């Protein structure tokens, strides 16, 4: 199964989820939505203009938004 993780630098929830996935031995393709405008556009298409990160996508479907009910606001920009 293909896993994609949408993140922002400095988001502690992104770092925690990344660490959880690594601990579980899951291979993840990571997208930094601050540095990659195309990734940001894909994220907005998946979850709307006021997205939170981290967002975990599995086989093209959103599997998780945030971590334990918490996330960092991305905003519409």
5 touches 18 (CB < 8 A): yes
| pTM as predicted | 0.92
- Sequence-distant (6+) residues with CB within 8 A of 22 are none
| Residue entry with tokens 């922002």 | 8
In total, the chain counts a number of residues equal to: 77
The 10s digit of each residue's pLDDT in 4-54 is: 999 999 999 999 999 999 999 999 999 999 999 999 999 999 998 888 999
CB 55 within 8 A of CB 5: yes
């Amino acid at each position: 199964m293909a896993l994609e993780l949408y993140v922002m630098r400095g988001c502690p929830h992104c770092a925690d989820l990344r660490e959880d996935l690594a601990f579980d031995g899951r291979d993840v393709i990571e997208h930094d939505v601050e540095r990659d405008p195309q990734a940001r556009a894909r994220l907005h298409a998946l979850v709307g203009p006021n997205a939170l990160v981290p967002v975990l996508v599995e086989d093209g479907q959103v599997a998780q938004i945030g971590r334990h009910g918490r996330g960092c606001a991305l905003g519409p920009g």
